[in-house]
Amino acid sequence: MAIVVLLMPLHVERGEAVSVRVRVGEARSAMAVEHSGPIAARVGRAREVMLVAPIEIRGGFEMVARDASGREVRGRGPIEFRSVMGSTLRSDGRVLGPEIVCVWREGEVFDVVRPVELELYVAGVLGGELFGHWPDSCFEAQAICARSYVVHEMGRATERHYDVNDDQRHQVFAGGEPLEKATRAAERTRGLVLMSEGRVLRTYFASACGGRAASAAMVWPAKGRLEFNAAEPLGGHPRAHACDDAPLYRWSRRRGREEVSSRVRSWATAAGHAARGMGSIVRVEVIEVAPSGRPGVYLVVDDRHGRYRFLADDLRVAMNDGRPMPLSAADRLPSNDFEVEVLGDRVTIRGRGFGHGVGLCQYCAAQWAREGYSALDMLGAFFPGARLGRVEEVR
Interface ranges with Zn ion (CB under 5 A): 209, 241, 243, 361, 364
Cα-to-chain-centroid distance, residue 3:
26
Smallest distance from the beta carbon of 384 to Zn ion, in angstroms? 15
How far apart CA 214 and CA 337 sit, in angstroms, is: 8
The SS3 assignment for 128 reads: helix
Smallest separation (angstroms) from Zn ion to the CB of 156: 27
Nearer to Zn ion, 218 or 361 (CB): 361
> What is the helix (H) or strand (E) element at residue 394, kind and residue range?
helix 391-394
Pairing of strands 205-206, 360-361: parallel
Question: Closest approach of Cβ 151 to Zn ion, in Å?
Answer: 24
Nearer to Zn ion, 81 or 338 (CB): 338
Report, in Å, the least distance between residue 40 CB and Zn ion. 48
Q: Which of 375, 338, 296 is nearest to 122 (CA)?
A: 375
User: Which C-beta is closer to Zn ion: that of 117 or that of 244?
Assistant: 244
Residue 361 Cβ vs Zn ion, minimum distance, rounded to whole Å: 3
Alpha carbons 386 and 197: distance in angstroms, whole number: 8
Minimum CB–partner distance for residue 206 and Zn ion (Å)? 8
Distance CA 364, CA 325 (A): 34
Identity of the residue, 154 or 364, whose beta carbon is nearer to Zn ion in the bound complex: 364
Q: How far is the CB of 365 from Zn ion (least distance, A)?
A: 8
Q: How far is the CB of 367 from Zn ion (least distance, A)?
A: 8
Q: Which is nearer to Zn ion, 88 or 207 (CB)?
A: 207
Beta partners for residue 72, in sequence order? 66
Q: What residue type is 380 in one-letter code? A: G
User: Which is nearer to Zn ion, 142 or 183 (by Cβ)?
Assistant: 142
Minimum distance, C-beta of residue 242 to Zn ion, in the bound complex (Å): 6
Sequence-distant (≥ 6) Cβ neighbours of residue 167 within 8 angstroms: none
What type of residue is 254? R
Q: Pick between residue 43 and residue 364 the one whose CB is nearest to Zn ion.
A: 364
Separation between Cα atoms, residue 263 and residue 380, nearest integer Å: 39
Provide the β-strand partners of residue 114: 22
Would you list the DSSP string of 4-67? PPPPPPSSPPP----EEEEEEEEEESEEEEB-SSEEEEEETTSPPEEEESSEEEE-SSSEEEEE
**Count of Cβ atoms closer than 10 Å to residue 390 Cβ:** 17
Q: Do strands 164-165 and 19-28 pair parallel, antiparallel, or not at all (unpaired)?
A: parallel
What is the distance, to the nearest Å, from the Cα of residue 292 to the centroid of all Cα atoms in its chain?
23
The residue (of 186 and 209) whose beta carbon lies closer to Zn ion is 209
Return the closest-CA partner of residue 237 out of 377, 388, 381.
381
By C-beta, is 243 or 260 nearer to Zn ion?
Answer: 243
